[in-house]
Every structure is written in C-alpha cells, then in structure tokens.
C-alpha cells in the first residue's frame, strides 16, 4: 500500500495493488502503466516516478509515499 500525498504533505488517497482508494476506502480509480484512470477507464493523472501530475504535466498533484505494510500490527 502506498499513500498519495498532496503538495501540502497531507495524504488524500492510497494505492493498494493497482486500485486507488479514498481515505474512506472507496475505490476511485486505478493505475494503468504511467497513468491514473477513473473507474470508467478515462485518464485523469500522469505518473512520473513517484510524482503525480495533471495530464498536461503543468500541475503537480502530489506524490506516492514509500511502500507500507497493510497490517501494521506485525
């Protein structure tokens, strides 16, 4: 699981496998290669390394945190 962190340093979503979820646990999209797509398959954001940008690359959305264990009790 990797958090999606905004430009202010606050997590607003997380990526589990290839599915993107809100903090409330609702699936909102998925990662397909170098893009985040919505549930209908329409490209929403571009991924470059760990950074996430608007499709045109002009606006920084945020970045993915490092990999975290799903079960933090282990």
pLDDT at 74: 46
DSSP state of 42: -
- Tell me what the pLDDT averaged over the chain comes to: 93
* 69: in domain: no
N- to C-terminal Cα separation, the chain:
15
pLDDT tens digits along 34-61: 999 999 999 999 999 999 999 999 999 9
Domain containing residue 32 = 2-64
| Domain-located, residue 45 | yes
The percent helix, strand, coil of the chain (3-state, each to 5) is 0, 55, 45
The whole-number pLDDT of residue 67 equals 84
Q: Are the CB atoms for 4 and 60 separated by under 8 Å?
A: no
Closest to 61 in 3D by CA, of 49, 43, 45: 45
pLDDT score for 68: 76
**Any bridge partners for residue 27, and if so which?**
21
Per the structure, the count of domains in the chain is 1
Asked if residue 37 is part of any domain, the answer here is yes
- Mean per-residue pLDDT for 10-37? 97
Residue bearing the bigger pLDDT, 67 or 72: 67
Residue 72: inside a domain, yes or no?
no
């Amino acid at each position: 699981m990797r958090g999606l962190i905004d430009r202010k340093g606050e997590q607003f979503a997380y990526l589990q496998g290839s599915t993107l979820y809100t903090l409330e646990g609702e699936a909102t999209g998925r990662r397909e290669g170098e893009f985040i797509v919505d549930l209908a398959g329409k490209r929403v954001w571009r991924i470059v390394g760990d950074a996430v940008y608007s499709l045109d690359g002009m606006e920084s959305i945020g970045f993915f945190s490092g990999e975290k264990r799903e079960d933090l009790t282990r």
